[in-house]
Amino acid sequence: MSRLILLLLIFPICAEGVQAQSAYKADFSDLKKWEGTYEYIGNSTLQIAASPKDTMLYALIGAARYKLRPFKKDIFLNGGNQEVEFLSDAKHISGYKVKDGQPDKLYKLLTNKVTFSDSIWYAKPLGYSYAYKAPVARKDGLPVGSLAGSDLDADLIHKMIDRIIDGTYPNIHSVLLIKDGKLILEEYFYEYHADKLHELRSASKTFTSALVGAAVSNGFIKSLDDKVLTYFPDYQFRNLTPQKEAITIKNMLTQQSGLACNDYDSNSPGNETKIYRTADWVKTILDLPMAGEPGDKADYCSGNTIVLGKIVEKSSKSSLYDFAGKYLFGPLGVKNFRWDFITDQQHQDDFGQVYLKPRDMAKLCLLYLNGGNWKGTQILPKQYVAQSLMKHAVVDGIDYGYLWWRESLTASGIRYDGMAAKGNGGQRIFIWPEQNMVAVVTGGNYNTQSPANKMLIECVLSGLKK
């Protein structure tokens, strides 16, 4: 669920603008010979695929793609400029090694019997011409409407779709817009469609916030002022101080726990790269030293959200999946979702994140836009929803609520105050209360700059009738 894909010990990222230049040009047939399924960290696997679109080699890990740039014959550079060397003899490909300063390990080729659909490389089939169609009613609780009669500029929406298709806005998987309570735009690209679940990465944090609200509403959590450590009587804590004993649930919701945990600082003891490799994420987080007073400075810490998820589980005596299904997703009419919240090193490839259909992502925003009420049923307390969307802290220069970003976008000189759930890859779920509008964007720009905000500014907000 992280801002970075921190399991990528083999295909790490590097700072923008410092990538080494490729020194070797490979043609498509050269790249094709490396295609296959290979061993990866732990007991997992990855696939290597050659793209006909840009003549580049990619590592496919789950739903994410990572470019490997040609450097020398049979040697490629990953995102951290480490050499990835493919090995073979006269007849067989054996696997690859990564020059990462550690003892060489051969990650073996498991099979070269793989095929890749063109849909993973092209947003739409070659020759496709876009024409707007109103979303289809699916009896899922989302009323549908049309761009016609809305406050949006249909020409700009058409331009946005064309730019997604031609790659100006790269790796956008879906765009949905809800205006005045009706779904008026629903478009999918690449291999994605309305019934396919999409990972949310750190946008999952906002859904965890909703579960905390549901736990309060249903009496499992007495108060946001409850002390966090009291929920873990089975742990003996390291670095125990009065400051640590004072951490409240609210402190964690606002990223103000005071723990030495900062995902934006690779040297932080609680950086998620270090947490996900441990046998018990929750204990590792709560064993961290304190870096400040609870309620003071906010640092972006995935560990806070992991602890909150475990508090929901312990207080309700149910799994996070079952709790979400009964108290949040069920009432919202969400029937298909995935949430494997298992907090140990064997599950570091999943980060404890939630997977949803984009239409179901939009329902959370509509729920908050309507004060926690869904079609006459109060799912979340109205006061909790209002407090969630208020400013309580500042994270990375942006106002922050209860695991909600209060992010303003400026289009055509006008500032639009919004609230957002955001995740690595370009997952964006926006609310603009004054415009009575919701936007959902999913994408695959993992560990790179997402065009999602730029796209929403240029082609959605700029076209609103003032």
Structural domain boundaries in the chain: 28-120, 154-196+362-463, 201-356
Q: What are 79-113's pLDDT values in tens digits?
A: 888 999 999 988 899 999 999 777 889 999 999 99
Tell me, what's the pLDDT at 448?
Answer: 87
Domains 154-196+362-463 and 201-356 share a fold: yes
d(CA 288, CA 260): 6
Q: Report whether 200 contacts 421 (CB < 8 A).
A: yes
Structure tokens at 216: 């309060």
What pLDDT, in 10s, does the model give residues 132-172?
999 999 999 999 999 998 999 999 999 999 999 999 999 99
Mean local confidence (pLDDT), 249-266: 98
Q: Which residues pair with 395 in a beta bridge?
A: 398
Collapsing DSSP states into helix, strand and coil, what is residue 358? helix
CA distance 12 to 81: 9
pLDDT at position 198:
97
Burial string for 240-253 (b: 16+ CB within 10 Å, else e) reads: eeebbebbbbbbbb
3-class SS of residue 170: coil
Question: Which class is 201-356 in CATH?
Answer: alpha beta
Residue of 134, 121, 124, 146 lying closest to 58 (CA atoms)? 121
Report the pLDDT averaged over residues 4-25: 47
Helix (H, G, I), strand (E, B) or coil at 390: coil
Q: Which residue has the higher pLDDT, 301 or 15?
A: 301
Residue 302 corresponds to which amino acid? S
Amino acid at 96: Y
Q: Find out whether 174 and 358 touch, Cβ atoms under 8 Å.
A: yes
Residues counted in the chain:
466
The pLDDT confidence band at residue 421, using thresholds 50, 70 and 90, is very high
The structural architecture, per CATH, of the domain 154-196+362-463 is 3-Layer(aba) Sandwich (3.40)
Strand partners, 373: 378
The pTM of the full predicted model, rounded to 2 decimals, is 0.93
| Beta bridge partner(s), residue 432 | 437
Task: Determine the angle formed by the axes of helices 358-369 and 204-217, rounding to 10 degrees.
Answer: 50
Cβ contacts of 414-422, under 8 Å, gap ≥ 24:
414/461, 414/466, 416/461, 419/368, 419/389, 421/200, 421/203, 421/205, 421/206, 421/207, 421/361, 421/364, 421/365, 422/202, 422/203
- Taking the CA atoms of the chain, what radius of gyration do you get in angstroms? 23
Selected residue with higher pLDDT from 95 and 2? 95
Rounded CA gap, 270 and 260, in Å?
6
Q: How far is CA 10 from the centre of its chain?
A: 20
Rounded to the nearest angstrom, the gap between the alpha carbon of residue 300 and the centroid of all alpha carbons in its chain is 14
